[in-house]
Amino acid sequence: MKETLHFIDPHIHMTSRTTDDYEAMAAAGVVAVIEPSFWLGQPRTQVGSFQDYFSSLVGWEPFRASQFGIKHYCTIGLNSKEANNEALAEQVMELLPLYLHKEGVVAIGEIGYDDQSPAEDKYFREQLELAKEFNMLVQVHTPHRDKKAGTIKSMEVCLEHGLDPSNVVIDHNNEETVQEVLDRGFIAAFTIYPKTKMGNERMVEVVRRFGSTNIIVDSSADWGVSDPLSVPNVGKAMLAQGYSEDEIEKVLFANPINFFAQSGRISLEEVTRPLIDQTKLHEENSALRGQDPIVEGKD
Ligand SMILES: [Zn+2]
Cα–ligand 1 centroid distance for 280 (angstroms): 29
Cα–ligand 1 centroid distance for 32 (angstroms): 16
- Average pLDDT value for residue range 267-288: 90
Question: Does 298 or 276 have the greater pLDDT score?
Answer: 276
User: Whole-angstrom Cα distance, residue 119 to residue 157?
Assistant: 14
Q: Which pLDDT score, from 0 to 100, does residue 275 have?
A: 84
pLDDT digits (tens, 9 = 90+) for 67-85: 999 999 999 999 999 999 9
Query: Which helix (H) or strand (E) element contains residue 82?
Result: none
pTM of the complete model: 0.96
Residues in CB range of 2: below 8 A, 6 or more apart? 245
Query: Which helix (H) or strand (E) element contains residue 190?
Result: strand 187-191
Q: Which pLDDT score, from 0 to 100, does residue 2 have?
A: 52
- Average pLDDT value for residue range 177-191: 97
Is it the case that residue 257 has pLDDT exceeding 90? yes
- Average pLDDT value for residue range 15-30: 97
Q: Which pLDDT score, from 0 to 100, does residue 299 have?
A: 47
Q: Report DSSP letters for 5-73, one per residue.
A: --EEESS--GGGS-HHHHHHHHHTTEEEEEEE----SS---SHHHHHHHHHHHHTHHHHHHHTTT-EEE
Residues in CB range of 42: below 8 A, 6 or more apart? none
Q: Which pLDDT score, from 0 to 100, does residue 193 have?
A: 86
Cα–ligand 1 centroid distance for 294 (angstroms): 31
Cα–ligand 1 centroid distance for 12 (angstroms): 6
Is it the case that residue 196 has pLDDT exceeding 80? no
Strand-pair category, 276-277 with 215-218? unpaired
- With both helix axes pointing from N to C terminus, report the angle between 230-240 and 200-210 in degrees, rounded to the nearest 10: 60
Alpha helices in 101-218 (DSSP H): 118-134, 147-160, 178-183, 200-210
pLDDT bracket for residue 239 (50, 70, 90): very high
Is it the case that residue 197 has pLDDT exceeding 70? no
Q: Which pLDDT score, from 0 to 100, does residue 1 have?
A: 47
Angle, alpha carbons 175-180-182 (nearest 5°): 95
Is it the case that residue 88 has pLDDT exceeding 80? yes
Cα–ligand 1 centroid distance for 183 (angstroms): 24
Cα–ligand 1 centroid distance for 109 (angstroms): 9
Nearest to 42 by CA among 85, 76, 94: 85
- Average pLDDT value for residue range 202-217: 96
pLDDT digits (tens, 9 = 90+) for 259-276: 999 999 999 999 987 789
- Average pLDDT value for residue range 136-160: 96
Q: Which pLDDT score, from 0 to 100, does residue 3 have?
A: 59
Cα–ligand 1 centroid distance for 175 (angstroms): 19
Cα–ligand 1 centroid distance for 161 (angstroms): 23
Backbone angles phi, psi at 87, to 5 degrees: -60, -40
3-state secondary structure of 94: helix
3-state secondary structure of 212: coil
